[in-house]
């Protein structure tokens, strides 16, 4: 099986005054279709920089990044924007929804950028909102939704283009315990449907939902192991009610 993501000796350096910061220092990583991977690490570990790199939000100083057979490391900003829209679905801690737009309009946004006609956009967005259980909230605006519902809208928006990977950055960071469990259960279902998920988190209990855990330290991969004690939605709900 060929990897969907191939990182080879990725380095990212910043200059702050006269000081040179090595945010990533030779990261090599393969991720395969339908994997569920958690990226973990303390502040300053390079976790956020790696997330930006994987999401084509930034380019490496050196090294090679192949995403779904596309060499993206040396692409221009415009080329990267096109790759992001077609290949990557983002789920952020802060939801990043347009406050004056309805649930349906927020979910359709990536399809607008993709140039898909309106009737098809509405059909695709409606289908994915049904998948996340929000078919009765399509005309509501973000301020009319709970935190959990807003995150479901963000997940629907991430799914609508059928991207190669779902990149979830601290997806439960602004949610209470019960809602966090529900959102992780939804991601579990999405993974079972065949999607590749990369979960960025500093919370051990959230990382335990992933099937593989990659830990970073000082810009390098410290460990990369299969998770032998996977946490499921069912087990967390049982613990929550006990």
Alpha-carbon distances of 169 from 46, 144, 154, 204, rounded to whole Å? 14, 24, 12, 14
Beta strand 165-169 pairing with 88-92: parallel
CA 204 vs. chain centroid, Å, equals 17
pLDDT of 91 reads 93
> Nearest 5 degrees, angle CA 136-CA 140-CA 143?
130
pLDDT of 241 reads 74
pLDDT of 242 reads 66
- Whole domain around residue 185: which residue ranges? 3-241
Q: What is the mean pLDDT of each run of 10 residues along the chain (242 residues)?
A: 93 88 94 96 91 93 95 92 91 91 95 89 95 95 95 95 92 90 93 94 92 96 95 81 70
Q: Please return the burial class of 76, using the count of CB atoms within 10 Å of its CB with bins 0-12, 13-18 and 19+.
A: exposed
Distance CA 10, CA 138 (A): 41
Length of the chain: 242
pLDDT of 51 reads 93
Sign of CA dihedral 51, 57, 63, 65: positive
Q: pTM (2 decimals)?
A: 0.91
Distance CA 105, CA 109 (A): 6
Whether the CB-CB separation of 5 and 33 falls below 8 Å is answered with: no
The CATH number assigned to the domain holding 22 equals: 3.40.50.300
**Tally of structural domains, the chain:** 1
């Amino acid at each position: 099986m060929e990897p969907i993501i191939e990182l080879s000796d990725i380095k990212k350096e910043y200059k702050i005054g006269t000081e040179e910061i090595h945010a990533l220092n030779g990261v090599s990583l393969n991720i395969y279709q339908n994997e569920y991977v958690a990226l973990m690490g303390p502040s300053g570990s390079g976790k956020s920089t790696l997330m930006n790199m994987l999401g084509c939000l930034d380019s490496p100083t050196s090294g090679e990044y192949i995403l779904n057979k596309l060499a993206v490391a040396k692409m221009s900003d415009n080329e990267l924007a096109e790759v992001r829209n077609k290949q990557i679905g983002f789920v952020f801690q802060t939801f990043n929804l347009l406050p004056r737009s309805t649930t349906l309009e927020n979910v359709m946004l990536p399809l607008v950028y993709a140039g898909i006609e309106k009737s098809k956009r509405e059909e695709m967005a409606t289908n994915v909102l049904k998948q996340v259980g929000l078919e009765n909230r399509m005309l509501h605006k973000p301020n009319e939704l709970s935190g959990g519902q807003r995150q479901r809208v963000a997940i629907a928006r991430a799914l609508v283009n059928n991207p190669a990977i779902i990149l979830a950055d601290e997806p439960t960071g602004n949610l209470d315990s019960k809602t966090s469990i529900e959102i992780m259960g939804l991601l579990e279902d999405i993974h079972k449907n065949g999607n590749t998920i990369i979960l960025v988190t500093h919370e051990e209990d959230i990382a335990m939902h992933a099937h593989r855990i990659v830990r970073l330290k000082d810009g390098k991969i410290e460990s990369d192991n299969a998770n032998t004690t996977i946490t499921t939605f069912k087990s967390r709900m049982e613990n929550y009610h006990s």
